[in-house]
A and B are shown apart, each in its own frame.
Chain A
Amino acid sequence: MTTFRVLSLTLLAGLTVNLAQAADAAHGQKVFAECAACHSAGKGPSGVGPSLFGVFGRKAGTLDDFRFSPAMKRSNIVWSRETLDAYLADPQRAVPANRMPFGGIPDAQNRADLLDYMEQTFKQ
């Protein structure tokens, strides 16, 4: 996994990201395909990954129906656009030793679109 992190950072550094570009929730839904094998869209129960319904404003590692890693439980993160963005950019850097088997989304525009989609879909 270490090599993945190095790879992701290299990619990140090598990309010219236009942050001014408007986020696009429709595109974000496509990006969510990377997450969908483990996280249900909308108000689904926890599965391979925890339910994301109501994630904004929730303290990390606090859902009753999912067994979180100790790392996630003691992270003290409250999920917001900013904290999710950092986590999605590089999950192991943001919360070392968390158990999500995913290398991250290096592209900032993809993350912005994804977060737009998530705000629409997972708001309580």
Chain B
Amino acid sequence: MAKKLKEVDVVVVGLGWTGGILSKELTDAGLKVVALERGGNRTTQDDYALPGVRDELRYVVRHDLMQNTARDTLTVRNNISQEALPMRRLGSFLPGEVVGGSGVHWSGHTWRWTDLEFKVRSMYEERYGKKYIPEDMTIQDWGISYAELEPYYEKFERAAAVSGKAGNLRGQIQEGGNPFEAPRQNEYALPPLTKIHASQMFNAAAKNLGYHPFPRPSANASRPYTNQYGAQFGACEYCGYCQRFGCEANAKGSPHVAVIPAVMKSANFELRAHAWVTKVIKDKSGKRVTGVLYTNILTGEEYEQPAGMVILTAFALNNVHLMLASNIGQPYDPKTGKGVIGRNYCYQTGTSATLFFEGKHFNPFMNAGGSNDTIDDINSNWAFDRAPFGYIGGANISGGFNTNLPIGYRPVPRGTPPWGKEWKAATAKWYQGAMKIDASGAVMANRYNYLDLDPTYRNAFGQPLMRMTFDYKDNEHKIGQHAAQVINQIAKSMNPTHLTEAVARTTPWTVVPYQSTHNTGGTIMGVNPRTSAVNRYLQSWDCHNLFIVGANVFAHNASYNPTGPVGALAYWTADAIRNQYLKNPGALVHA
């Protein structure tokens, strides 16, 4: 029997970026907030300090900051005719499990997604006609606009110490920034990071071919910085340990540095770490939630935490799983196309080339999460005509490298034996002289890519695992082909000694190797409760005191990293709760 605890105003499930932001905003509004986090409470000084943090075995191979698959995982298949099997070891994506969430181990790439995403169906239909969008592509408008989200993007960029160069200030194109970005009111919080040599070479080559390179905006502080919560960031030291690691210099915008310490000071806030939420509890009417059920995973004790409001702020996939496990909202069925929970699950695609230059010394151990230059000519550039290529979306292409770890980073030309004397000679020869050009490509929603509960396999709490049914479709293959062409064109113009060319992916998606932790959708936002799980304020259509915040609300996936809009939407939702919902609790949008 679960022990019933005293009611609080708000329960926040998961304490990463979104949980941290919502906790801060709502405690500031005078609400009593309890945050339940599966992982432990780790800090820079105790856990990410030198030299312990420089441990590739612990953090990269053994996934020390990630979800433990022995306790909970997903089953995976490519299509509905297959039987899904459990992913017993993390690979393709790496959800964080710690206070700070995946925001501890991210690289920091922070983009502003634009109306090209938020109004994807209406913009493509208007320009290319209704028939341009394939029948099984279930893309839809998100119910929000860039202009509405702009101030919230800025708030997030300031919280996370984002370094970059504006390309469009209030409609004026700025030299050195991304000319295709949507207008910004203000410059970035910090100037861009210092370019590494490989990025300078990519920049020159891309410019020479008529592309528009610019520094990738990243939550890596280029200078010492203090954010709106008084959090102090050190300047990035270009140590090269961004991805998979906590930052020892507090230079990376991570929630455990940027916002959580500020909320920890509030008497209205309580963090319970190692608390695993298994269910959101509904009342008899089914129109309100009354709290959550959770297990302390250190003691095995079960608790019921009653609350006036529940906010799901776990990793995107886990938010969806919790909705399915709690039986809130109608589960999606790909056969009928009906139901909303699990609908429009998306991922990302990509391809890359490796360039080998004899005699170059790139010093690959020295870089930051955002030390690459990138081009958006076939991505956020709406003037680029997609019709000859036949796809929707695009690819962001970047040159250089980040997080090249001393043990794991072994670039060798394609065709080199994978072990033995020849491999050793090649890895010694090319370690200093290799760089990459990568593309990250969008994935459009498809009727047959979705999430539901697995009929067979269960987690440590006896609950059905979530089942992921996903594969790349024609649109992704076309984006991959075009991105590979552009990459190879730029790469060849740089005259490398060897070039391992980019090849578009045509094989089915698999759970290995690592690809991207940008899993989106499953409880998408929208204007219609028949095709979305939450309204434009991320409020559940079914239960008005339940909000679901995270990339799980994205109606499809862009080529960009998701954290920019994830952070902006957290502030947007906090604002809607503070200024609208608290005054008049109920549905914020009437369907």
Contacts and interface: CB of A to CB of B under 8 A. Distances in A.
B250 A38 contact: yes
A37 B50 contact: no
A70 to B, nearest CB: 10
B232 A37 contact: yes
Given A34-B234, A37-B232, A99 B363 contact: no
A50 B25 CA distance: 32
B333 interface: no
Contacts of A48: 44-45, 49, 248-250
Nearest to B234: A37
Contacts of B153: none
A101 B252 CA distance: 13
Contact of B50 (A33, A46, A101): A101
B235 A34 contact: yes
A35 B248 CA distance: 13
A84 to B, nearest CB: 18
B237 interface: yes
B366 interface: yes
A101 B54 CA distance: 12
B224 interface: yes
Interface in B328-374: 363, 366
Contacts of B248: 48, 101
A101 B235 contact: no
Contacts of B45: 46-48
Nearest to B238: A4
Interface in B235-260: 235, 237-239, 248-251
Contact of B224 (A4, A33, A46): A33
Given A101-B239, A102-B237, A38 B366 contact: no
Interface string A3-41: 110000000000000000000000000000111111000
A42 interface: no
B51 interface: yes
B249 A101 contact: yes
A38 B50 contact: no
Contacts of A3: 363, 366
22 contacts: A1-B239, A3-B363, A33-B224, A33-B226, A34-B234, A35-B234, A37-B224, A37-B232, A37-B233, A37-B249, A38-B234, A38-B250, A46-B45, A47-B45, A48-B44, A48-B49, A48-B249, A99-B49, A101-B237, A101-B249, A102-B234, A103-B237
Given A37-B233, A48-B248, A67-B49, 13 more contacts: A1-B239, A4-B237, A33-B224, A33-B226, A34-B224, A37-B232, A38-B234, A48-B44, A48-B45, A101-B50, A101-B234, A102-B249, A103-B237
